[in-house]
Amino acid sequence: MTLSIILAMLAVTVPFIIIRVAKKRVIAPQIGHIRSVDLRAFRNLMDPEEEEYLRLRLPPAEFRRIQRERLRAAVEYIQCAASNAAVLMHLAETARRSSDPATAQAAVQLIDNAIRLRTYAFRAIPKLYLGMIFPGRRISSGRVAESYELMTRQVVLLGLQYPLGEISASL
């Protein structure tokens, strides 16, 4: 009986969750939400050689503490890149409806890559959290950095055909 009551109460929340998610969607991401991502720093955080160097030089407890901090920073970078991808997707959605086929094509490519980046981020973040729990474990961030780099190039290409303002500089 209790299980059914809990189920009934949970069921009632479903439409509210749908509305809440949709409401969030209407508040579209703005250019101001773009945060700069230092890819070099990110690559450094994910570099296995760097990790190996720290492992050899530091006492184990200190290494684990530092490694956790490094992974936490990497998560922040990835979250930032994923959030930038969301903003760019929103802008590219507008550009996709452009009457100019080249602009529309560039926008489609940008959307495609932004989605890919968010997919990589979705897969990488749990791995990084796992790495924080087990600091010795070898962690890969997948292709987040490459995808982000490609995305910034695509923004530049799209910016040549469509007014994106200061976005490429912000990335």
Binding site for other proteins (CB under 8 A): 1, 3-5, 7-9, 11-15, 17-19, 21-22, 24-26, 28, 30-31, 86, 89-91, 93-95, 97, 111-116, 118-119, 122, 152-153, 156, 159-160, 162-166, 168-169
Task: Kindly state the DSSP code that residue 32 receives in the 8-state scheme.
Answer: G
CB of 47 to other proteins, least distance (A): 21
Helix, coil or strand: residue 36: coil
| Choice between 59 and 163, CB closer to other proteins | 163
Nearer to other proteins, 33 or 137 (CB): 33
For residue 93, what are the CA distances in angstroms to 84, 102, 157?
14, 14, 15
Which lies closer to other proteins via its Cβ, residue 60 or residue 126? 126
In angstroms, the CA 37 to CA 87 distance is 14
With a CB cutoff of 8 Å and minimum separation 6, the contacts of 28 are 90
Query: What secondary structure does DSSP assign to 95-145, as a single string?
Result: HHT-SSHHHHHHHHHHHHHHHHHHHHHHHHHHHHHHHHHSTTS----TTHH
Least gap, CB of 38 to other proteins (angstroms): 15
Nearest to 148 by CA among 48, 36, 50: 36
> Minimum Å distance from CB 63 to other proteins?
34
Least separation in angstroms between residue 135's CB and other proteins is 28
Give the shortest CB-68-to-other proteins separation in angstroms: 26
Q: Which is nearer to other proteins, 114 or 144 (CB)?
A: 114
Nearer to other proteins, 102 or 169 (CB): 169
